[in-house]
Amino acid sequence: MALPPLVEPATELTKDEVERYSRHLIIPDVGMDGQKRLKNAKVLVVGAGGLGSPALLYLAAAGVGTLGIVEFDVVDSSNLQRQIIHGVSDVDRPKGESARDSIREVNPYVDVRLHNERLTSDNVLDIFRDYDLILDGTDNFATRYLVNDAAVILGKPYVWGSIFRFEGQASVFWEDAPNGLGLNYRDLYPEPPPPGMVPSCAEGGVLGVLCASIGSIMVNEAVKLITGIGEPLLGRLVIYDALETTWRQVKIRKDPETPKITELIDYEAFCGTVSDDAQQAAAGNTITALELKEMIDAGKDFQLIDVREQHEYDIVNIPGATLIPKDRILSGEALSEISQDKPVVLHCKSGGRSAEALAALHKAGFSDAVHVGGGVLSWAKQVDPSLPTY
């Protein structure tokens, strides 16, 4: 079911704008009226990363008049495999500034507004308030629930996308949608998964081109909502499998058990980025990469265990480490491979997974086990800068 246009049309298009958007204007469903609505629209994109990159470029090319960008990170060389809005010369620059400059190259008629800050419960309502539509391209559950709840409180629609390895998902959420169609992200995912259950893209990887596939869908939904054409993905979840090149849809219905959202909460605590057990295990049982180096140089006899996956170990590893993936430790399968008579040191990529494995070892009786804060990334940064990072 089509929804009413989200935005009123601008007064006019200039001669240059008519020429620029002519391929839109000759589509009867869009026409002058639709393009004027795009010109008058204010769209906020949360994140200028994998999904935000194609989304921002295509929103700009489509003629969205005002684009906001929420982004606090800087460009890293590992971003360039998928975050196409940034280039080699942008490495170490703030992502928001890099994205702004690329947008200006694509369409100088777009007003770009930067919000160079981390989105929090303290600032989200003020940032969202001036925009008609939100696009959520974030990669963590805490921010996803924050975006959802803020959009519900303000009555804003938002387009959501998610990517992991070869699979992408997209939908539209709008609690206050007309005709009784309203629902929000919590109707699909009432609660976040347990800490460590779902790897992030930084842990599990993502096919670069998948970002373009899902980012383009998100922009398509934004255009439909703004102009009032077509049938938006409200109430539908689209799932794309890039390996099989298949698309499927899942119906989403309003869950009567979903609590009414009236205020913002502590989303880090709600999502439990690291479990309470892991936090307790790591407290007082964390060593630095430099301390690990001192143990090795002193010839201490201990077992160093890498709890990442084989493909990560193949990229970079700490000399002398034995690979025992975290899941084998959590299931108890690998406990017989862990030394009972000498100290045990765990590490992962950055410290989160090793903390979870550490908690499991402590419960199994390995009370003296410790882990390396910052993981192999800290080792590469502080001990051996010649090693690659990922």
- Residue 348 is among the residues annotated as catalytic for this protein: yes
Residue 165, beta-bridge partner list: 206
Q: Where do the H-state alpha helices sit in 27-171? A: 31-40, 52-62, 95-106, 124-128, 141-154
Nearest Cα neighbor of 270 from 110, 120, 141, 102 is: 141
At residue 105, the pLDDT reads 97
- Residue 211 is among the residues annotated as catalytic for this protein: no
At residue 181, the pLDDT reads 86
Grouping H, G, I as helix, E, B as strand and the rest as coil, residue 172 is strand
At residue 196, the pLDDT reads 62
Q: Which residues contact 135 (CB under 8 A, 6 or more apart)?
A: 43, 44, 45, 46, 51, 52, 55, 59, 158, 159, 161, 218, 219, 222
Q: List the Cα angle 352/357/361 in 5-degree steps.
A: 145
Query: The tokens of 23 are what?
Result: 């391929």
197 by Cβ neighbours in 10 Å (0-12 / 13-18 / 19+) ranks as: exposed
Q: How far apart are CA 177 and CA 382, in angstroms?
A: 52
At residue 93, the pLDDT reads 98
pLDDT band at 194 (very low <50, low <70, confident <90, very high): confident
pLDDT band at 273 (very low <50, low <70, confident <90, very high): low
Lowest mean pLDDT among 150-154, 189-193, 273-277, 305-309: 273-277
pLDDT band at 245 (very low <50, low <70, confident <90, very high): very high
Report, at the CATH architecture level, how domain 15-271 is classified. Answer: 3-Layer(aba) Sandwich (3.40)
Q: Which residues contact 299 (CB under 8 A, 6 or more apart)?
A: none
Nearest Cα neighbor of 325 from 309, 338, 311 is: 309
Q: Which of 201, 264, 295, 383 is catalytic?
A: 201
Q: Which of 348, 358, 372, 376 is catalytic?
A: 348
Buried residues in 218-233 as b, exposed as e (16+ CB within 10 A): bbbbbbbbbbbbeebb
For the four alpha carbons of 46, 52, 57 and 61, in that order, the dihedral sign comes to: negative
Dump pLDDT digits (tens) for 226-236: 999 999 999 99
pLDDT of residue 37 exceeding 80 = yes
- 153, 124 Cβ separation under 8 angstroms: no
Lowest mean pLDDT among 38-47, 100-109, 332-341: 332-341
The CATH number that domain 276-382 falls under is 3.40.250.10
At residue 143, the pLDDT reads 95
Q: What is the largest CA-CA distance in the chain?
A: 80
Q: How far apart are CA 28 and CA 271, in angstroms?
A: 45
Would you list the domain boundaries of the chain? 15-271, 276-382
Q: What is the DSSP letter of 5?
A: -
The pLDDT of 347-374, averaged and rounded, is 94
Dump pLDDT digits (tens) for 38-74: 999 999 999 999 999 999 999 999 999 999 999 999 9
Of all residues in the chain, what percent carry a pLDDT higher than 90?
A: 87
Dump pLDDT digits (tens) for 142-193: 999 999 999 999 999 999 999 999 999 999 999 999 988 899 999 999 988 8
